Amino acid sequence: MKLQKYNKFATLLSVGWILSNFAAAYANDNFQIANAWSKNTTKTNLLNLASNSIPQPKLVFIGTEPYTVSGKNFQRYKLSVANWNAFPNNLFTKAPDLPPCGQNNSSSRTWVNIYNGQTNQRIYGFCGFSSPNDLNSLWFAVEQGEAPPQSIYIILKDRKTNQEYRSNLVSLTNETQAFKEDCIAFNPNNISVNQVSDRWKIVENGNHWMFDFGNKKDEATRAFKVIKHYGINKSCFVGRPQASLKYLLINSSAPSGSLQGEDCVSFNPATTTVNLINNRWKIVDGNHWMFDFGNNKSEATTSLAIIKKYNFSHSCFVGRPDPNFSYLRR
C-alpha cells in the first residue's frame, strides 16, 4: 500500500514538473506528444503545437474540372479544408529525418491522404505540402466515364508525433454536387461612370451597362474606384435574374487587401454555415446573419461553397442601407 501511494505521489510530482515548464495552457496535451518531445523533438515545435490546439479538418467539396493527360480524359474533384488557417505552420515543415516520399527525401512532416468514405481505401495523397494554405489545393481524379466515390474524407498524418487528424465525411452527390459559377468578364481598363437616361451607371465600352446607381453619382464613383483599386474583371452571380448573391473576382481569385474608407464587415469563413432561421435559409457566422436566401436552400448551399472556395472574409458595401453595389474580399 505504501509503495502504491509513493508511485502515485511520484507520478504527480512528474506531471507537476512538466506542467510547470510548459504552463497550465498545455495541461491537456496527450502523452504521445510529451514522449515525442523527450525523444529529441525540438521544444519550439512542441510549444507551437501546444499553443495551437489541432482541430478536426473541415473538409469541403469545391467542384470538378476536366483535364487530359497522355490522351486520357479525367475529371478532377477539388477539395478544400475550410479551417486550414487553424493548423500550425510547423506541421508542414520539411522532414529529411523522416522516411522519404518516393524520391523526395525532404517531404513534409505531415502527409495528407484522401480516402473512400465507403471502403476506407486510400484514393490519393500529398506529401510535399509546405504550409497550411496548401490544404486549399486538395484533389483527386477519376477517369471520364467512371463513377467517383459517393463520399470521401481525409486524414492528416503527423509523422513526427504519429498523430492522425481525420476530417468530416463529405458527400460528392446531391446537394454538394459540383456547382458551375455564373460570371461575366469585363475589362476594367474600358469602364467609365456615365449618366444614361438620368441614371448613373458603370459602363464598359460605352454600351455595356454593368451597375446601376440611380441618381447617386457619388456611389457610382466610389464603386468605380473599388473596381479600379482591386483590378476586378469578373462580375459573378448565384441565381439570376434576381441574384441571391453577387461577388466580384480578379480572373479566378478573390480581391484581397483593403481600400481606405471602404465599408466592410468581417467574418470567419471557417465558421460560416448555412442555417434555417425562422423558416428562411441564411448564411451565418455564429449569431451574425450575413445573407438571406428565403426558401432557396440550394442557392444558400452554393453561395457558402463559393465563400469557402475563395476564402472570402469581408462583406463590403457602397451605400447603406440598400446598397446598389456590394462585393466580397479577403
Half-sphere exposure of 33 (CA within 13 A, CB side): 21
Q: Which residue has the cell 486549399?
A: 136
Higher pLDDT, 257 or 177: 257
pLDDT confidence of 42, banded at 50, 70, 90? very low
Residue 241 falls inside a structural domain: yes
Higher pLDDT, 130 or 22: 130
User: How would you list the strands of the sheet with 288-292, edge to edge?
Assistant: 272-277, 280-285, 288-292
Closest CA to 51 of 84, 19, 88, 18: 88
Residue 79 falls inside a structural domain: yes
Percent of the chain with pLDDT over 90: 52
Which CATH number do you get for residue 115?
2.60.40
Residues 251 and 292 in one domain: yes
Residues 153 and 189 in one domain: no
Q: Which domain holds residue 118?
A: 59-174
Residue 93 falls inside a structural domain: yes
Residue 279 falls inside a structural domain: yes
Higher pLDDT, 296 or 28: 296
Residues 194 and 77 in one domain: no
Residue 145 falls inside a structural domain: yes
How confident is the prediction for the chain on average, in pLDDT? Answer: 82
Looking at 108, 140, 174, the residue that finishes a domain is 174
Instruction: In whole angstroms, give the CA distance from residue 14 to residue 30.
Output: 15
Q: Which residues contact 163 (CB under 8 A, 6 or more apart)?
A: 32, 33, 54, 157
Residue 39 falls inside a structural domain: no
pLDDT confidence of 242, banded at 50, 70, 90? confident
Angle, CA of 259, 262 and 268, to the nearest 5°: 90
Looking at 158, 174, 190, the residue that finishes a domain is 174
Question: Torsion angle of alpha carbons 205, 210, 216, 222, nearest 10°?
Answer: -80
State if pTM tops 0.95.
no
**269 and 307 in contact (C-beta within 8 Å)?**
yes
Residues 205 and 299 in one domain: yes
Arithmetic mean of pLDDT, 121-130: 95
Residue 92 falls inside a structural domain: yes
Q: Is the pLDDT of residue 218 over 60?
A: yes
Q: Helix, strand, or coil here: 164?
A: strand
Q: Which helix (H) or strand (E) holds 17?
A: helix 2-22
Residues 196 and 299 in one domain: yes
Q: Which three cell numbers stand for residue 83?
A: 479551417
Question: What is the pLDDT, as a whole number, of residue 50?
Answer: 40
Question: What is the pLDDT, as a whole number, of residue 316?
Answer: 96
Q: Is the pLDDT of residue 98 over 50?
A: yes
Higher pLDDT, 6 or 112: 112
Residue 42 falls inside a structural domain: no
Residues 153 and 269 in one domain: no
Instruction: In whole angstroms, give the CA distance from residue 155 to residue 157.
Output: 6
Q: Helix, strand, or coil here: 312?
A: coil
Question: What is the pLDDT, as a whole number, of residue 173?
Answer: 64
Indicate the number of domains in the chain: 2
